[in-house]
Structure formats: structure tokens, C-alpha cells
Amino acid sequence: MAIVRDDPIIAMTPTADHSDYEGYFVKNSSGSAALCDSASDDPLGVILDGEDTDGQDSIGLLGGMRKTAHVKLAGTVSQFGLIQLTSAGKAEADAGTGARVIVGRVLEAGVADEKVEAILFTPVAYT
């Protein structure tokens, strides 16, 4: 069996200009990368290097990356806390109850609009 990739990082055409969106979560939209716009979306990955619509985003696929990545925050998180997806394609502290999609664990504390280092999981949806 041949190893195809060391890490699951793929190139995708963005549906909009993603040049300022490193750390945002995306979903598949007919083969293109679209920002997650619902807290219940099924995120495909996180933007590692965003481009405009003439380029290709580098997307780190959730659940398979051996390395950490930056995530953009929508609120305050504590070091080592679980994070959930927001309707703006960002991450926030896990609410602990209710409908939500858990996407990872942060390795450092942070506040809204910061990028922090995180371990990314296969998304887990709670209803």
C-alpha cells in the first residue's frame, strides 16, 4: 500500500475571496470551499492558506491532520478546552450541552478574533 499524502491538505477553489480567512472552517460546495455559515454545518476542513477566487485555498482536512493548525475564534476560550463550530465559520468554547459540532481542542487560551493553535478532530455533531 502506497502512502499518498503525509497529511490530508488539499487545494480547493474558494467560492469567495478567502485571502483573509486563515483559520476559518469550510464546507464542500459542489467541489469548492465555502465558509461554514451554520453552527450545524458538516465542516470539511480549515483554511491554512486562503486565496481569492482566481487561486486555490490550502485546506487542512478535519480528522486526519497530524499537525496543529490555527483556528479563528468567535469568543473566549481556555487553554486545552474543546471548541465548537459557529455560524460564522469560526470556533468558540464548547457549550457542553445542546446542538453543536465539536471540531477540536485549543492548545492556548484566546479571545474573539484571535487565531490560536488547535488540534483538529473529525467533527462530532451533538443534537
Residue 85 has pLDDT above 80, yes or no: yes
pLDDT score, position 4: 73
Predicted model pTM: 0.93
Residue 78: which domain range?
Answer: 69-126
pLDDT class of 44 with cuts at 50, 70, 90:
very high
Query: Do residue 52 and residue 73 come from a single domain?
Result: no
Task: Report yes or no on 96 lying in a domain.
Answer: yes
**HEC per residue, the chain:** CCCCCCCCEEEECECCCCCCCCCCEEEEECCEEEECCCCCCCCCEEEEECCCCCCCEEEEECCCCCCCEEEEECCCECCCCEEEECCCCCEEECCCCCCEEEEEEECCCECCCCEEEEEEEEEEEEC
Quick one: pLDDT at residue 6?
A: 75
65-80 per-position pLDDT tens digit: 889 999 999 999 999 9
Instruction: Domain count for the chain, please give it.
Output: 2
